[in-house]
Chain A
Amino acid sequence: SYDLTQPPSVSVSPGQTASITCSGDKLGDKYACWYQQKPGQSPVLIIYQDTKRPSGIPERFSGSNSGNTATLTISGTQAIDEADYYCQAWDSNTAAYVFGAGTKVTVL
């Protein structure tokens, strides 16, 4: 099966930049997307096709994907960005969606 690996947690000071990585074998050959989930809420798509933001998602969220690693970057992090973040990709070899285990972002 295809696996995506994320760090369990990332801490960032308000106004600073947070980077969350997602690693998988030749992930750069696939499209990665990212979701934000706050406690008690459903996930929200914040990045798709590596770099695209759905309507309504702030510009401070950006994404990249190359080699074996996709990265979600939050620029000028705000307290409201404190949440769990999940990466996801489609593995055509196994016809399966795959999620990373999630990264908890704490804004200190």
Chain B
Amino acid sequence: EVLLVESGGGLVQRGGSLRLSCAASGFTFSAHSMAWVRQSPGKGLEWVSYISSDSHSIYYADSVKGRFTSSRDNAANSLYLQMNSLRAEDTAIYFCARELSPLVQAFDVWGQGKMVTVSS
């Protein structure tokens, strides 16, 4: 079974840091680009970051650029999101997602999501 499982969320104070992890199983992780997508309470989906299969290309939404860092460990089948200088507006459920293929910019597998709450 193809699975993505996020971990590492929780409550953090404004200005603090948090690291999310996403464990992949059931597919060849190193063959797929990955992304983080978030959803604030009661709101829509917002793309956060993209990382190519070989980590050579990494992109960020303007709202998190300079504060968040995506990385991956293909040997460990894991994706990470380091979040620094957190703000109240970063409060959201964070999903990791698999890009369907290099030629198809769509996400066909999603994790269950992890809640991050930034308190002021």
Interface residues, chain A, with chain B CB atoms under 8 Å away:
1, 31, 33, 35, 37, 42-45, 48-49, 54, 84, 86, 88-90, 95-102
**How distant is the Cα of A31 from the Cα of B104 in the complex, in angstroms?**
8
B107 within 8 A of A: yes
Segment of B14-22, B45-53, B66-74, B78-86 in the binding face? B45-53
Q: Do residues B44 and A99 form an inter-chain contact, with CB atoms below 8 A?
A: yes
State how many angstroms separate the Cβ of B112 from the closest Cβ of chain A: 6
Q: Do residues B106 and A33 form an inter-chain contact, with CB atoms below 8 A?
A: yes
With contacts defined as CB atoms under 8 Å apart, how many contacts are there between chain A and chain B in the complex? Answer: 61
Say which residue of A45, A48, A54, A96 sits within 8 Å of B47 (CB atoms).
A96
Which label, helix, strand, loop or mixed, suits the secondary structure of the B interface? strand
Q: Do residues A102 and B106 form an inter-chain contact, with CB atoms below 8 A?
A: no
Q: Which B residues are CB-close (under 8 A) to A45? A: 100, 106-108
Q: Do residues B106 and A49 form an inter-chain contact, with CB atoms below 8 A?
A: yes
**How distant is the Cα of A86 from the Cα of B61 in the complex, in angstroms?**
18
Q: Do residues B59 and A42 form an inter-chain contact, with CB atoms below 8 A?
A: no
Q: Do residues B44 and A31 form an inter-chain contact, with CB atoms below 8 A?
A: no
Q: Do residues A48 and B104 form an inter-chain contact, with CB atoms below 8 A?
A: yes
Say which residue of A37, A54, A101 sits within 8 Å of B108 (CB atoms).
A54
Q: Do residues B47 and A97 form an inter-chain contact, with CB atoms below 8 A?
A: yes
Q: Do residues A99 and B46 form an inter-chain contact, with CB atoms below 8 A?
A: yes
**How distant is the Cα of A33 from the Cα of B100 in the complex, in angstroms?**
11
Q: A88: nearest residue on chain B (CB-CB)? A: B106
Q: A102: nearest residue on chain B (CB-CB)? A: B44
Q: Do residues B95 and A42 form an inter-chain contact, with CB atoms below 8 A?
A: yes
**How distant is the Cα of A97 from the Cα of B113 in the complex, in angstroms?**
18
State how many angstroms separate the Cβ of B113 from the closest Cβ of chain A: 6
Say which residue of A42, A49, A99, A101 sits within 8 Å of B110 (CB atoms).
A42
